Amino acid sequence: MDTSQIIWKPTKAYVEGSNVKGFMDQWGIKTYKELYQKSINDIKWFWPAAMDSLGVHWHKRYDTILDLDGSKSFERARWFTGGKLSIAYNCLDRHALDPHASNRLAFIWETEDGTIEKWTYLDLYTAANRCANALKSLGVRKGVTVGFYMPMIPELIVAFWACMKLGAPLIPIFSGFGAKPLAVRLADAGARVLLTADAGFYKMRRIPLKATCDEAATEVPSLKHIVVVKRQVDPQIPWQEGRDLWWHELVPRQSAQFKTAVLDAEDLAMILYSSGTTGKPKGTLHRVAGVFAQVVKELGFHFDVKPDSRFFWITNIGWMMGPWEIMGVQNFGGCFLIYEGNPFYPDHERVLDMVSRHRLTHLGLSPTYGRALKTKGDDWIRKYDLSSLKFLGSTGEPFDPESYMWVFKHIGEGRVPIINISGGTEMCGCLVSPSPLTPLKPCSVGMPGLGMAIGLADDDGKLIDIGKGHLVLLKPAPSLTRGFLKDWDRYIDTYFSWEKNPDVWYHGDYIRRDRQGQLTLHGRSDDTINVAGVRTGAGEIESALMDHEAVLESAVVGVPDKLKGSDIVCFVILKEGHEPSDELKASLSKHVTTIMGKNLRPRAIEIVPDLPRTRSMKIVRKAIRTKYMGGDPGDLASVENPKALDYIFKGE
């Protein structure tokens, strides 16, 4: 497939009236490229100007925009020092207290069984005030950490804003984790209160949550209370008097009045955990003004969120896209959708059905989810009115051209841009992203994000202009984590100690820039496969496999080889009508070799009926490689279909 041609150009409808164009007009900036250059050449101008343009309210203006603490590097950078603001005020209070906005929808909740609730800003404000008072009665105050182990239910959003109102750093944790990973995160952060539910529901199955919390609590000495949302009519669950409290008995009786805390710009807002590839989870620290600046900039300039936006990203509160979506959409007084359940329940049509029924304007999905939909054909899509969609979003892994174009043509109807972003938990945002003013090629991640001074470095650490390289950051950005919780040395080792170039912030993705400045993602550079000196990423080989007529989906891993250093093993799901055979395996191997070169001929092609993936449909390649090598893939709580690993074994 030709990926060199522009497939989407900004139309007048996207450009005129967009937040980013309004910002450019305000400052007399003629082109988007000029804006980007100004945003990185003068970062002390850009970030305050962007926050002002996007409506962020300061309770006290900052004294210093950027403080590098006397260092030439930026590992200790502090932003907006002396300033005071409240994320909760910006995203909730000011809308709820505005008579013109108070009855506007803040969020919609939908469940697998069809239950729907719609919450206005005033509804959410009142409930969050009651919850804040309830948490305050349990000893929660500014700086006291609160754990979230909750399904995607309204109480989650209420508690999110209650913590923000208190200035209590919240710790969102994926509700599919087992007791051990839950305990590790809570203990590391010293959580005083844990918010949960007696159960969650997934594929209409009851998922016991309180029992997991009880097991985890034995390893969290700081934990004083577990507040439980009642989901079942007659739950039979263990209960520890004095520690365990029912939400419905504690929260509704509280006062609906609460004075939202005004916080210092450098106060801690959230601790987001990133598993990484080795060692214990990394607690990334996100400061109030820094994380808010990044999120507001991205949702405002790159996704053009406005008060009439209706936003849905297939995600979970335990991943950064959950807090990112909540804060970003609500700053603009928009509405977002939360969905409790499997995006393929009762069938693959569920998400597009919700787009149609709720008139969603933004839909965020993973490339794996797009590939899964692609297997269902496209005739069924026509029954749904997708005309409300203005933007598609994607993140988490590289797209292959065929699946990208399928999503673009059939879900986006060839008229909607895919805002394909890449960043990470460590910044609660992205380094690269298109915008409404960015032309797009297949699989493009557009340009660097505004204010993000990225560079591409070759394997020797030298910065390059064109070609494929390691994604690095050359200047500070407000939302970069200020270290790892209780582990400063690991933070420095992870981001500021790349032996090839210690002067950059090392991200860990491979990315390519073409001569027109378009960027495409090629997967994690720390997952690079080095075959006899020829280096490539798994994504490139997977893309080559997807180009074969028989391949529905694939996952590629590198395995040790005594002679070549590494070798390539491909796991392939076949399209309907194709049967496994030695001849087909040979054909697939030849196909990869033709595209990638003889040095990258796969060692093995393994045909499997399924591949393990997370609930957001991302393939878990690390677990595949570990299982193939005979190791223990570890905690699979976040894996939607762990039995798929039963098909992964080393063939003879």
Query: Which domains does the chain show, CATH number per domain?
Result: 12-86+288-523 (3.40.50.12780), 121-261 (3.40.50.980), 528-647 (3.30.300.30)
- Unique residue bearing structure tokens 């180009």: 547
Give 384's Cβ-side CA count (13 Å radius): 24
Residue 525 per-residue DSSP state: G
pLDDT at 319: 86
Low-confidence ranges of the chain (pLDDT < 50): 276-278, 652
Which residues are registered as beta bridge partners of 607? 572
Burial label, 276 (beta-carbon count in 10 A; 0-12, 13-18, 19+):
middle
φ, ψ (nearest 5 deg) of residue 180: -65, -55
Task: Decide: 388 and 359 in contact? Cβ < 8 Å.
Answer: yes
Q: Residue 139's CB: how many other CB atoms inside 10 A?
A: 11
- What is the Cα–Cα distance from 175 to 209, expressed in whole angstroms? 8
Positive/negative CA dihedral, 166, 171, 174, 178: negative
Answer whether 171's CB lies under 8 Å from 191's CB.
yes
Q: What is the pLDDT of residue 526?
A: 60
CA distance 558 to 570: 9
Distance, CA of 455 to CA of 511 (rounded, Å)? 10
Q: What is the pLDDT of residue 545?
A: 92
Neighbours of 486 (CB within 10 A): 11
Cα–Cα distances (Å) from 44 to 64, 368, 476, in that order, read: 9, 38, 11
String of DSSP letters for 119-157: EEHHHHHHHHHHHHHHHHHTT--TT--EEE---SSHHHH
- The helix-helix angle for 32-41 and 43-53 (nearest 10°) equals 120
CA distances 249 to 208, 246, 254, 563, 634, Å, are 20, 5, 10, 66, 38
The pLDDT assigned to 310 comes to 98
Q: Measuring CA to CA, which residue among 451, 471, 476, 449 is closest to residue 461?
A: 471
pLDDT of 542 reads 87
Asked whether the beta carbons of 364 and 327 are under 8 A apart, the reply is no
